[in-house]
Chains A and B, each alone.
Chain A
Amino acid sequence: MIEESIPKETSSVDTTRQLCWIRFSHDGKRLLGGGYDALIRRWNLVDEELTEIDPIDGFHGWVQAFAQHPEEPLLFAADSWGRLACFDDSAEVTVPKWDLPSAHDGWIRTMSISHDGKQLATAGNDHHIRMFDTTDGTLLHEVEAGDDDIFSVAIHPDGKSVVSGDLFCTLKVWNPVSGECTRELDARKMHFYDRDQDVCGLRSLRFLDEGRTLLATGAEPTEAGRGHGVPVLYFYDWDSGELTKRLEQGDSNDGFIADLVTHPGGFFMSVTTGQPGKGKLIFHRRDEERPFFEYTKMSNTHSIALQADGHKFFVAATNRNSQGNGAVSDKEGNYLGNFSPLHLFTFEN
């Protein structure tokens, strides 16, 4: 029974760059990862061996926002300069199926695909939420969502509303057709202010229980400069808007929940940013106060990619000694950047 087993790290592969996120392709045969170098990197997976193939390029800045179609092999990705594009995630070629070079003005931080796969919501630093037709990128709706950067969006399963989380961790529910904000939910404990800096602890929003529950994940920040924060999950009753449950996944040294997926066995798998050299892989059942599994041998973890059958997953972490003041060079004097080791785990049963 997978739920009762613990995973085993079976291998680790070094990459050459840092990755914001990783996911398996629709067919499970390829690993995809968006990076801080304007690329989506791709690796074919055969017998637990990763072979890197040509990346998807044409982006700028960071490729941080992404979504996958629930039924088709479509990957939607956006960059920090405003480009949004759709790709066939199983194809060898990297030509987009559709491409919007200026979907937003600047950093697209977040996107969400509707449960039926027909609509895509995107948002970021231009304070707009835009809804696109996933088949061709046609703009369907646009919401002027206030004056603050938007860190996360999620489309409700009924397709009639979109919820956004902003810099101040106010969750706003929008009617995307009328553009009206219909109500607000309070996640402001995920916001922290110190010395002219607002820290947004919110990292993702998603719906559970067919839309009856909204899950907000991230951290309750405890200081501004070093990314300290207590990793948390907030569960809201969608009908009442009330915060019904708050789960902690560590202490203030664990930082933010950078990524979270739900295992077919019903538990959450998350990774935390952590303090220098530290990062956690955490398994947590929703009805239990504490995680039932923690793995702490990786450094500063950022994303988790779970194969559909739930037997295998990768974690994108950070190389050791990624922090350091002044110049860090190799023997030839070349400046050393950081990269994301990909740790492969399998469940023992």
Chain B
Amino acid sequence: MLYSHLCTPREHHLSRRQMLGAMGGMAAGLGLAGVQAPTFAEDLARNEKQVLLVWLDGGMSQLETWDPKPNTRYGGPYRSISTSVPGVQISELMPHTARQMHNLAVVRTMKTEDPNHSSGVPKILRGQPKDRGVVYPYLGSAVAKLLGPTSTGLPPYVWVKPGSGGFISKHAGFLGAKYGALAVGNGKPPENLVRPESISNADDEARNDLRKRLNERFAAGRRRDYGEANSFVFDLSEKLMQHADLFDASQLPANDVERYGKSEIGENMLLARGLLEAGVRMVHVQSYGWDTHGDNFNAHATRVPRFDRAFAAMMHDLDERGMLDNVLVICMAEFGRTPRINGSIGRDHWNIAWSLAMGGTGIRPGVVVGETNAEGTDVKSQPYDIGHMFHTWYSALGIDSQRTEYHNGNQPLPIAHDDYQPVRELLT
């Protein structure tokens, strides 16, 4: 397949069938030099991997979560608590997550380039590879490309977020719009997902026949993927229609609603669980509002417990259902928050020594990688870039991050920063 970042989104639409066909021999099918062709079994196993990204937009404070420095100058008011991993402590604001620590790995020495939201968010979500004049895909789009949909045929990349929904093609970068995010806003399914009752089965079949004929006419004389592109969104919607119940919160067990919490992140995380169970390859759960330049400590006092409840419930459920064997869980933001407390009793943006967490498939559970200094003002051990993490996560998913390449037209591109490698301490 050839791709061009200059093409229109329509030209990049691709049918589910084509995606399924392509993913079976993805590496070989891409015709990439130097990529080992996986065996069928390996390929199958790889293709059942799934990813959950929990994105805390604005930047959660590492000092009030994963890397507390209690009773130090910048440590804030909170205590640290023990976790299910002996010797590992996290903030007292996360008692539920503390009990899931044996399922998690934490990196405390993230040192990245950009302390700004507008440029930092895309850099982190793209893994900030070397600049080669192309716009790299966000992690979700990258996973959608590299692994494709699961065998369910459900959309490979769903973005569960507060606010509006829609199809967000810009996440895909040079890969092309078809690898964009299907955004589910405020827990609502895409509009017109469910067929109106007024349309009978016969009418529906007739409409589909007409649609197919028009597609065939349009495709005549054009590249094959032109025609198939028109079916792409329809195919996704059709598959989602079979899971419309996922979006009906009234069908959720009351106990689950209680465990995940009656909060924005709780509701979205519970929806994400359903999407993963249904077979969506990549689910990105978004939580907004972590940019606490003012009143940081009171803000985290209400925000973190809501995150904690939802995140821990997710980890518990994935574990209990055996899904951590296949699902890679990542929890991060674009950066952390400054150790120093500003005049508004807030913390500002901090890219120097921040934390993120992960768990699930391929990730060594219960480890803490890296150490910051006593006051959290810098790393004390090996710093890690987001590029290290992308290599690590691809490796956890069974993708050889140092040999697999994208092709942007004739331009081969590494899937992660070519100066970095996976962090072996984080991998099983």
Contact = CB atoms under 8 A, between A and B. Distances in A.
Contact of A196 (B289, B294, B342): B289
A214 to B, nearest CB: 22
B343 A318 contact: yes
Interface in A214-228: 224-228
Contacts of B299: 197, 199, 224-225
Interface string B308-340: 000000000000000000000000000000111
Interface string A154-167: 00000000000001
Interface string B285-315: 0011101111100110111001100000000
B348 A323 contact: yes
A227 B344 contact: yes
B145 interface: no
B342 A338 contact: yes
A198 B73 contact: no
Contact of B343 (A80, A323, A328): A323
B331 to A, nearest CB: 15
Nearest to B375: A335
B75 A199 contact: no
Contacts of A125: 301
B58 interface: yes
Interface string A299-330: 11000000000000000011100111111100
A64 interface: yes
Contacts of A227: 293-295, 344-346
B73 A17 contact: yes
Contacts of A80: 77-78
Interface in A149-178: 149, 167
A198 B116 contact: no
Contact of B76 (A62, A149, A326, A328): A62
B303 A196 contact: yes
A7 interface: no
A225 B294 contact: yes
B302 A167 contact: yes
Nearest to A36: B341
Contact of A273 (B70, B77, B116, B343): B343
B287 A335 contact: no
Contacts of B307: 196
A96 interface: no
A125 B341 CA distance: 21
B349 interface: yes
B162 A335 contact: no
A60 B350 contact: no
Interface in A124-143: 125
B293 to A, nearest CB: 5
A318 B294 CA distance: 14
Q: Which of B72, B79, B295, B298 has the most CB of A within 10 A?
A: B295
A291 interface: no
B264 A195 contact: yes
A227 B291 CA distance: 11
B264 A196 contact: yes
Interface string A47-65: 0000000000000111010
Contacts of A224: 289, 299
A104 B72 CA distance: 21
Interface string A1-24: 000000000000000011000000
B216 to A, nearest CB: 47
Interface in B225-273: 263-265
Contact of B73 (A300, A326, A337): A337
Interface string A220-240: 000011111000000000000
A61 B351 contact: no
B28 to A, nearest CB: 44
Contacts of B343: 273-274, 276-277, 279, 299-300, 317-319, 322-323, 338
B79 A228 contact: no
A327 B352 contact: yes
B115 interface: yes
Contacts of B70: 60-61
Nearest to A79: B77
A199 B78 CA distance: 18
Given A228-B294, A326-B349, A338 B306 contact: no
B115 A255 contact: no
Contact of B340 (A64, A167, A198, A337): A337
A323 B375 CA distance: 18
A80 B70 CA distance: 11
A336 B340 contact: yes
A196 B77 contact: no
A347 B375 CA distance: 41
Interface string B47-61: 000000000001000
Contact of A61 (B77, B264, B295): B77
A64 B346 contact: no
Contacts of A274: 343-344
Contacts of B264: 195-196
A345 interface: no
A335 B378 CA distance: 9
Contacts of B77: 36, 61-62, 64, 80, 107
A71 interface: no
Interface in B49-98: 58, 70-79, 92
Contacts of A256: 295
B292 A225 contact: yes
B4 interface: no
A179 interface: no
Contacts of B74: 337
Contacts of B306: 196
A38 interface: yes
A275 interface: yes
Nearest to A335: B377
B428 to A, nearest CB: 33
Contacts of A199: 295, 298-299
Interface of A: 17-18, 36-38, 60-62, 64, 80-81, 106-107, 125, 149, 167, 194-200, 224-228, 255-256, 273-277, 279, 299-300, 317-319, 322-328, 335-338
Per CB-CB distance, the 9 closest pairs between chain A and chain B, nearest first, are A227-B294, A300-B343, A318-B343, A80-B77, A195-B289, A325-B349, A335-B377, A325-B115, A322-B343
26 contacts: A36-B341, A37-B72, A37-B73, A60-B79, A61-B70, A61-B71, A106-B92, A195-B162, A195-B287, A196-B289, A196-B307, A197-B299, A197-B303, A224-B299, A256-B295, A274-B343, A323-B342, A324-B342, A325-B116, A325-B338, A325-B350, A326-B115, A335-B340, A335-B375, A335-B377, A337-B340
